[in-house]
Structure 1
Amino acid sequence: SQVSREGLGYQRSQNGGQSVPLPGGQMSDYHRFGSSLNSPAKEETFFDGIDVSLTGIADLAGPKPPSSLKPGLEEVASQIEQAMKSFSVQKPAAVASSLAKGKLKVESLIAETEKSDLSAEAKYNVLHELRVKQHQFNDALVAALQLKLNADVIPAGQEDGMMAAMRGAASTFQMATPGLAFPVKVHLYQPTIPSLTVKSVKLVGTSRKDWSISSPAPPAALTSEKAADLTFKVKVPDDEPYTRPYFTRAGLQNAVYEVASSASRNTPLAPYPLQAVAQVEYEGANVELASVVQVVSKVNGPGTLRYPMPVGPALSVAMSPSAGVVPLGSKSINVSVRVHNNVKPAASPSVSLSLPEGWTATPKSIPVKFSQEGEEQTVAFTVTPKVAEGKEYTVTAVAELDGKSYSEGYVTIGYTGLRPYFLYSQAKYVTTGTDVKMAPDVPVAYVEGSGDDVPAALEQIGVHVSYLSAQDLANAELQKYSAIVLGVRAYAVRPDLIANNARLLQYVEKGGTVIVQYNTPEFDHNFGPYPYVMSNDPEEVTDEKSVVKILDPKNPVFNWPNKITEKDFDGWIEERGSKFLQAWDPKYTALLETHDAGQPEQKGGLVYARYGKGVYIYNAYAFYRQLPLGVPGAFRLFANMLSLPKNPEIK
């Protein structure tokens, strides 16, 4: 329980790190719903009635197993028992001989089983278990012999030399690109046996493309006194696939992933593109070990970091925003294109936009100059749109370099100590012509929470927010802002917000508007002007198509400058909202109701209160998803909330 809970603690994106139980027994209840084995009604272990011994593999062969199978398994079990008795932490190689004999015997059983007349199902089951044992023996031998294999990309010209060895691994490129040529240094070492026969050392491309590998001859033997260092020359195939997941979906509106037909579905991710494989022989047993080829970086603090080498595009291209709305009658909109360079040493691409019919962009093309790999630049275009209400449009960014076009980009997923992977998306801006109005001259401040894209989305309707720091919340003149928006989960991650909450209420009392977005139970401390209850397990409505009822149609939130109807809740993506209030003071007015099938009515998703001269709103609806994804109705309703300070219905 301690180990598993400590592991769960690394799920930090939501949980923030779980607590680890103190030492002691932990109770867990299990119920057996059915069994095909003869076992007591109340079992003592999960394995009652199951032969978990090594010789139990023979049971998988059915009533007539090959005559050599069970005796052979008993011999293997004997070698394992001998290895366990002989094991020494100081001299792990003492068990290597028993492990080698066990591995050889397993391999002979595999060969015999393959030639047997067992049924296809029985043969598959027995071979599966034997091959698992084969891999386990191999891994145990690698550990017992303390074999080490490392493969690093190295800078050209650093193939050897004492100074290079003293300096340690040098920083390299972080993303290989198709056509790139570079050296790879493979390091093989063992400290335990006077001499091991080396059968092969090679580099293998996992995509089975031709990497044009120039292989040096491996040494005939690997002695305990000296490591073997071999430098390979490789070139990334021009058609090498990028290192990316084998599962994709177009967006959050897609409920399932599309899986590549060629994918190995028993692996969490597609393999990294290049690995080193070495095979040595010990007492007649072949021992294989492998290592992915790695790139190297040096970071102050963590020091030298090695990560599996990925393959990606020469240029990674992304658009900002990637989704949104274009208000009807807009004369121009601004879009940005971010380009990341993976080309060494320099590159000079040009960037342009592919536009819908009738749209124009200024300038038509923008040249970019990169002086080194890993560099990023952002260029901006002014676009003149031509939109109709409700119609969807797509703008695509295209970067051109050396006769090739690039119109997708990636983000790196992971953090220090975790192997990185790469999520790709098209460099597109998908937008909808929308009848959305925003009151003029409404200065808006924003208190960032745990991270959302609402401020960037609001730019599309002409709202340019000012971010409030901890010092601003404590000392700044807040009344200069017509509205203050609190970001998602702000009360969970901004202790300064809690400390200065009274100033926010004073701001409302003097005429300001505060809009509190979705917050977790950290908000359940009556931070509003009147009491409310969220609970430790607040409700959420996950069906994005759940019916939304407007409870107070005359409320100013629904009438100016946009007339809000239930149609504005069409086309929402992924969910309606989360962390609805459960109860509230009568001075609050519930504005909307929705619920999932079988769920009680949820009226605590949007509550409105007048306090002094101002307005206070708690909003659990998922605007933080809808606005960045360009849902028109969400923009219209949020614009109304931001426009409340200018609403003629509010005196």
Structure 2
Amino acid sequence: MRGHHRRLFAWLTVWLLAVAIVLPFRPTPAAAASERAVVELWQALVPLRSVNTFMNTGAHPDDEQSSLLAYLSQGVGARVISVIATRGEGGQNAIGAEYNAALGVVRSRELAEAGQAFGVEVRHLSEDFDDPIFDFGFSKTPEETLAHWGHDRALERLVRVIRETRPDVVMPSFLDVDGQHGHHRAVTVLTLEAFRAAADPEAFPEHLAEGLRPWQIKKLYLPAAESRGTYDSEGIPPTLEVPVGEYDPILGASYVQIGEESRAYHKSQGMGQPVPEGPRTFPVHLLESKVPVPQPEQSLFDGLPRTVGDLAEQVEDRELKTMLLSLQEIIDAAVAAYPDYRRVSDLVHKGLNVVRQARARIAALEWADPELRYDLDHRLAVKEQQFVRASRAAILLVTRLTADTYELTRGASATLTLTAFVGGPVPLEDVRLELAAPAGWQVEPVEVPAAARLSYNQTLTARFKVTAPADAPFFHPYRPLDLYGLVHYTAAGVPVTVKVEPAADVAVLPDLSLQPQPDGLIYNLEEPGKLTVTVVATSYRDGPVETELSLAAPAGWQVEPAAAPVVFQGRGEVRSVRFTVTPPANLAPGRYTLRVQAEGQARSGEYVRVIEYDHIGRTYMVLPGAVEVQAFPVKVPKELRVGYVASGFDRVPEALRQLGIQVDLLDEEDLTSGDLSVYDTIVVGIRALRVRPDLVAAMPRLHEYVYGGGNLVVQYHQPGDNWDPERSAPYYLQIGSPSIRWRVTDEASPVTVLVPDHPLLNRPNAIGPEDWQGWVKDRGLYFPSKWAPEFTPLLSMNDPGEAPLTGSLLTATYGKGRYTYTSLILYYQLEQRVPGAYRLFVNLITP
């Protein structure tokens, strides 16, 4: 992740401030910077001690086993890789309005920041917004998940990552057991298969043609005991307890604490909790090993070469063996010399030179075992990069790459400034600054100094003008622009090159962002008329431009105006145009697309969605500027007035308003003292009791509203959402737990109508089999498990192979009114403009 290099020190500062009441010392900014540098030097030295790589696999961002990864990365010094299948698109969002692909972007950025916080490399199997490896919602089985993802596709991508990174040890984050999320189980299934497939040269032979080699992971672990996960029905006995509760005196925290600090980057999921210091272990179970393992185990890497010195035992060439043993002595000395910057610098650059000599020796030798040659070189290549990082930390090299603008249009230019500052006692020779750009980009030096000597407290600065090609691809958050700086220098006679990422992503964007509002419409064939679309256009072009905005519609549709001239004076200016759209009189039910276009000096057909939060920075999604129109018939009572108790978790009011229904949002005053009798129906939003204490207090008053003749519709709640089975509904109603047993995840599961003539299924819209078609994600969740006999269940449904559930739609007469509780995820179907969900919802709110 570019521009957000928040190291562990930043988190330690937060924790220190949290307990500042008992700490009389307040570090000065200079002291804080010094402490940060010392910590970063230590973090650069620790990886030199290990030649091992550990891989942790999971299904969603935040599935990583953070305390274990923190211990291995920051304590042991192992290279740690977190492989996550999806982007987390199907989750909740506790911080904003991003869902689906946009939420995937947020969660991917959060995962990248979390990994960077404690030195973990992150890989994804999902590659794009519409990738089949997608978080499609809760799944009960790995078979269902892999049917969605494509088993062979997912396995190939995981095997590819394994062959690229060559881990010694792998562990999935969860067990494949009943009750666990099907996505988690699927990743565990894939991990166990990949343990074997990655070593099989006949598995995915195209990898070999690309230069990858088969790789046998040596040890396969599973999480054990309390690590088994929230929903697992049972655990497995641990064969090793990893001491993640150890306290690191330099980092000033335990590895559990460091792990939780990294998890705090998953803000959209509400992750990260303060934990106290003290002993704690992470239990694991060794499922399979390809090497002899001493008993009892003391480490995840028992039975494997652990250090560069151990690698020396694998080689017969005396010269190479001597180099590796010498390198181990240098590493030991460098760690022992910490925090003497000058001494550490001398040793690090000496070690870097020896690593390069060893790799040259490996390349020059004739090997009886070419796999050993390849493996040794791979490990030393990793070690070489670790020495470069240590060089940077030891000489206190501070680099920055900034731009006068990070947003470019095709053919436009930006000026980038690259700086290198030396804060340590070791002078650097032959310092040169360079800018690397993708093919087709023009890089012109504006002010680039000649190679120079750089000593303590000196800065070298270079400026470059970069110009995007006319056909440059637009920015994609999963494929950021490969534009970076290079700082070349020589220290202690050893040449080093450091890569410098931009302070923020440099993004190529369309001339204009064309945002249609709303981005989706419904067209009621029962009440044909006109539609209104407002296009909000934002200019990313420098200087004045003129263009024409239009809305392209299917044949037979009328759009007014046909085109609208718009003038922008400069970047960032916003203009809006309102279009009136009239569909043809004989329009058939279906989904139609309206496309926004700009033609003129500025051209575009795209909408730029900007996503920006403090903890992940700024990023963009370049999407088609389009409006989806779903046409279908739905009967809506005239002058229907609805009060809505919003939770912030759904957009039901907006959906109902598109049908011409008056929807008023009810605040605390309305609930406690307002005249509720003016509403034909009151609807409670999903999980509103969790976030609306005023609603909890007002439930007796809402029940009085029903008793007097009102119509109350309550959408699903979790058991922990302040739901009281005795009091939240007018009659006893208990929400089922555990939730996995009280939900239907198959969105196409057959629906049986239990009371065919009930008004809720017939008035004003007759609900038929076609109304259950086209649903997405789920049928429903958090179904009630028990209810009073006054309730009438109207529907029955179930996932394949499971017993029918009848609690998805319960209704009861209370006094003169009606109370209805539904666990169907109607809110999500309305967002996706599913016709049957609209028709059913109108029935529910019809008194």
Taking structure 2 as the reference length, what is the TM-score of the superposition?
Answer: 0.65
- Give the whole-Å Cα distance in 1 for the aligned partners of 2:551 and 2:579: 9
Indicate conservation of the 8 Å contact 1:518/1:620, yes or no. Answer: yes
Q: How does 1:431-446 map to 2 (within 5 A)?
A: 431-446=629-644
2:408 match: secondary structure: coil
SS of match in other structure, 2:682:
strand
Match of 2:598 in 1: 399
Q: Determine the C-alpha separation between the residues in 1 that align with 2:398 and 2:784.
A: 57
Superposed counterparts of 1:92-171, under 5 Å: 92-118=341-367, 120-154=370-404
Report 1:463-612 matches (<5 A): 463-521=661-719, 522-526=721-725, 527-535=728-736, 537-538=738-739, 539-612=742-815
**2:550/2:598 contact within 8 Å kept:** yes
> In the alignment, what sits opposite 1:289?
498
**1:396-453 Cα distance to aligned partner (Å, 9 max, x none):** 111234163x222232334113133323322222233312111111012222223333
What SS does the aligned partner of 1:22 have?
A: coil
Which of the numbers 460, 466, 472 marks the counterpart of 2:658? 460
SS at match of 1:511: coil
1:332-370 Cα offsets, whole Å, 9 max, x none, are 122232323222344443321110111111222233444
Alpha-carbon distance in structure 2 between the residues aligned to 1:497 and 1:371: 49
Deviation for aligned residue 1:235: 2.2
- State how many pairs are aligned: 583
CA distance 1:513–1:381, shift in 2 (3 Å): farther
TM-superposed CA distance for 1:152, in Å, is 1.6
Q: 1:496 to 1:218 in 2, by over 3 A?
A: farther
- Given the alignment of the two structures, is residue 320 of structure 1 paired with residue 552 of structure 2, yes or no? no
Alpha-carbon distance change, 31 to 403 in structure 1, aligned in 2, over 3 angstroms: closer
C-alpha distance in 1, partners of 2:677/2:320? Answer: 84
Matched residues in 1 for 2:781 and 2:620: separation? 29
Q: Is the 8 A contact 1:321 1:457 kept in 2?
A: no
Corresponding residue SS for 2:444:
coil
Q: Tell me, in whole angstroms, the C-alpha distance in 1 between the residues paired with 2:670 and 2:563.
A: 41
Structure 1 segments unaligned to the other structure (5+ residues): 155-172, 246-268, 295-306, 646-651
Query: C-alpha displacement at 1:564, in angstroms?
Result: 0.2
- What whole-Å deviation, never above 9, does each CA across 1:312-333 have from its counterpart, x for those lacking one? 1221223233344322151212
Which residue does 1:208 correspond to in 2?
Answer: 439
Q: Are the counterparts in 1 of residues 736 and 786 from structure 2 also a CA contact under 8 Å?
A: no
Offset at residue 388 of structure 1 (A):
4.0
- What is the letter of the counterpart of residue 530 of structure 1? Y
**Letter paired with 2:793:** A
Match of 2:506 in 1: 309
Whether contact under 8 Å (2:352, 2:387) holds in the other structure is yes
C-alpha change, 1:7 and 1:149, in structure 2 (3 Å) is closer
Query: Helix, strand or coil for the counterpart of 2:498?
Result: strand
Asked if residue 13 in structure 1 is aligned to residue 268 in structure 2, the reply is yes
- Which of 420, 423, 435 does residue 188 from structure 1 map onto? 420
Tell me which residue corresponds to 2:28.
Answer: none
* Alignment partners' CA distance in 2, 1:602 and 1:377: 52
* Structure 1 residue identity aligned to 2:499: A
| Aligned partner of residue 356 in structure 1, secondary structure | coil
Residues 146, 599 of structure 1: CA spacing in aligned structure 2 closer, same or farther, 3 A cutoff? farther
Q: CA 1:409–1:82 in 2, change beyond 3 Å: closer, same or farther?
A: same
Paired residues of 1:218 and 1:230 also in contact (CA < 8 A): no
Which structure 2 residues correspond to residues 607-618 of structure 1 after superposition, within 5 A? 607-618=810-821
Q: Which residue, 435, 450, 457 being the options, matches 2:648? A: 450
Cross-structure match for 2:319: 68
Deviation digits for residues 124-157 of structure 1 (CA, Å, limit 9, x no counterpart): 3222111110000000110111101112223xxx
Deviation at 1:473, TM superposition (A): 2.8
Paired residues of 1:55 and 1:73 also in contact (CA < 8 A): yes
% identity of equivalent residues: 30
- Residue 43 (str. 1) matches residue 294 (str. 2): no
**Partners in 2 of 1:467 and 1:338 — Cα distance?**
26
Distance 1:373 1:491, change over 3 A: farther
1:351 paired with 2:549, answer yes
Tell me which of 29, 44, 52 is aligned to 2:283. 29
SS at match of 1:97: helix
Query: Does the CA contact (< 8 Å) of 1:203 and 1:277 recur in 2?
Result: yes
Structure 2 residue matching 1:560: 3-state secondary structure: coil
SS at match of 2:500: strand
Partner of 1:640: 843
Q: CA separation of 1:28/1:417 partners in 2, compared to 1, >3 Å: closer, same or farther? A: closer
- What is the CA–CA distance in structure 2 between the aligned matches of 1:443 and 1:55, rounded to whole Å? 78
The answer for the alignment partner of 2:580 in structure 1 is 382
Q: Residue 424 in 1 paired to residue 622 in 2? A: yes
Contact 2:509 2:622 in 1 (8 A): no
- In the alignment, the residues of structure 1 paired with residue 715 and residue 623 of structure 2 have an alpha-carbon distance, to the nearest angstrom, of 28
| Separation of aligned partners in 2, 1:462 and 1:633 | 18
Aligned amino acid, residue 278 of structure 1 = V
Q: Secondary structure at the match of 2:704?
A: helix
Tell me the equivalent position of 1:279.
488
Cα-to-partner distance string for 1:97-145 (whole Å, 9 max, x where unaligned): 1000100110111122223333554333222111110000000110111
Distance 2:491 2:703 in 1: 76
Larger-Rg structure: 1
| 3-state SS in 1 of match to 2:287 | coil
- The 8 Å contact of residues 389 and 435 in structure 1, kept in 2 or not, is answered as no
Return the offset for 1:619: 1.9
Deviation at 1:472, TM superposition (A): 3.0
Per-residue deviation, residues 598-619 of structure 1 (Å, max 9, x unmatched): 3332222222122222222222
Return closer, same or farther for 1:578/1:185 CA change in 2, 3 Å cut-off.
Answer: same
8 A contact 2:689–2:723 mirrored in 1? no
The 1-side partners of 2:565 and 2:690 are apart by 44
Quick one: distance in 1 between partners of 2:452 and 2:793?
Answer: 80
Cα 1:473/1:273, change in 2 over 3 Å: farther
Kindly provide the CA deviation profile for residues 613-632 of structure 1, in whole angstroms up to 9, marking residues without a partner as x: 22222222122221121211
Q: What do the CA deviations read for 1:28-81 (whole angstroms, capped 9, x no partner)?
A: 43222222121246533222212212233357x7xx654433321111111111
Name which of structure 1's ranges 324-333 and 579-588 shifts more when overlaid on structure 2.
324-333
Unmatched 5+ stretches in structure 2: 1-255
Structure 1 residue aligned with 2:332: 81
The secondary structure found in structure 1 opposite 2:407 is coil
CA offset at residue 209 of structure 1? 2.7
RMSD: 2.4
Check 1:496–1:410 CA distance in 2 against 1; reply closer, same or farther (3 A cut).
farther
